[in-house]
């Protein structure tokens, strides 16, 4: 087992005895270890990235009845010289977040958000071709899972699209049923598991699923990356659920997956 993972597992074993000073200890001991993993995964800002006005205009089109309008808009952005990766990361991902802002500000309802995200998922499926993806070895297999109760899959679909364009073989699942997850990693070699969680109440289910997958996996060095609102700015929760690292966005998740696989 790599040294950095052994250190993280040791922190997990000690988790139950942490006192009210846990945040200070996390800052002193856990964050530096996570930083070892996160080194070299910071993404540079794209040149000529889409601007907020374009994102807002696209979102307005995405929730209207004309399903072709957002696709046409995306085509125009692509014709402007932006790479697909730039458009996925600097256009579609901010657009998904902007839909959430519109909902919270009562500028659209939940059905609008669902329709808009569905349209964006269609764009990911249409343009996220893997025809030109570099060929990886058989270890580049990932399993991406959403926790129970997650309402939308756009974030995990974004990670899947970027991974596939980087040569990964990716499976996506919903519901995070621990026994099913364990059966999957017991039947086929999986290099990296990614789990997304938005609400704090799902932490126990995530921890249970990760523990079962580690015990059942054909890969003794199975790497686990978590993401979502439940882990934002909370490195202690990465340790609590038994993961190796947390990603704040889709590009970071892809970079972390590759680095963890290489470290295994």
Question: Which residue's structure tokens are 């006005």?
Answer: 53
What mean pLDDT comes out for the span 19-32?
38
Helices (H), the chain: 3-14, 22-25, 31-38, 52-62, 68-79, 84-87, 93-104, 110-127, 154-165, 178-187, 203-216, 235-240, 250-263
Please name the residues in contact with 27: beta carbons below 8 A apart, sequence gap of 6 or more. Answer: none
DSSP 241: T
| Mean pLDDT for all residues in the chain | 80
Of the listed ranges 19-33, 157-171, 190-204, 243-257, the one predicted with least confidence:
19-33
Structural domains in the chain plus CATH codes: 3-39+133-263 (3.40.50.280), 52-127 (1.10.1240)
What mean pLDDT comes out for the span 155-182?
87
pLDDT in tens, 69-109: 999 999 998 888 888 888 888 898 889 888 888 888 889 88
pLDDT at 234: 86
Q: Is the separation of the CB atoms in 203 and 235 below 8 Å?
A: no
pTM, entire model: 0.69
Banded pLDDT at 249 (limits 50, 70, 90): confident
- Reply yes or no on whether the pLDDT at 245 is more than 70: yes
């Amino acid at each position: 087992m790599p040294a950095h993972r052994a250190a993280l597992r040791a922190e997990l074993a000690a988790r139950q005895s942490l006192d009210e000073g846990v945040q200070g200890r996390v800052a002193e001991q856990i964050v530096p270890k996570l930083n070892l993993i996160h080194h070299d995964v910071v993404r540079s800002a794209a040149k000529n990235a889409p601007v907020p006005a374009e994102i807002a205009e696209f979102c307005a089109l995405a929730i209207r009845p004309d399903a072709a309008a957002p696709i046409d808009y995306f085509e125009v952005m692509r014709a402007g010289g932006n790479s697909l990766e730039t458009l996925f990361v600097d256009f579609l991902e901010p657009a998904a977040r902007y839909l959430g802002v519109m909902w919270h500000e009562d500028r659209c309802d939940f059905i609008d958000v669902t329709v808009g995200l569905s349209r964006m998922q269609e764009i990911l499926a249409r343009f996220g071709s893997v025809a030109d993806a570099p060929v990886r070895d058989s270890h580049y297999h990932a399993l991406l899972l959403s926790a129970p109760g997650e309402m939308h899959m756009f974030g995990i679909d974004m990670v899947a699209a970027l991974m596939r364009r980087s040569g990964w073989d990716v499976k996506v699942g919903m519901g995070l049923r621990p026994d099913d997850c364990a059966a999957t990693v017991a039947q086929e070699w999986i290099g990296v598991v990614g789990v997304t969680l938005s609400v704090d109440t799902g932490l126990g289910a995530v921890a249970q699923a990760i523990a079962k997958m580690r015990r059942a996996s054909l890969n003794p060095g199975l790497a686990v990356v978590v993401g979502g609102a439940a882990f934002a700015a909370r490195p202690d929760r990465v340790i609590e659920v038994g993961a190796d690292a947390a990603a704040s966005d889709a590009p970071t998740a892809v970079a972390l997956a590759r680095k963890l696989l290489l470290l295994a």
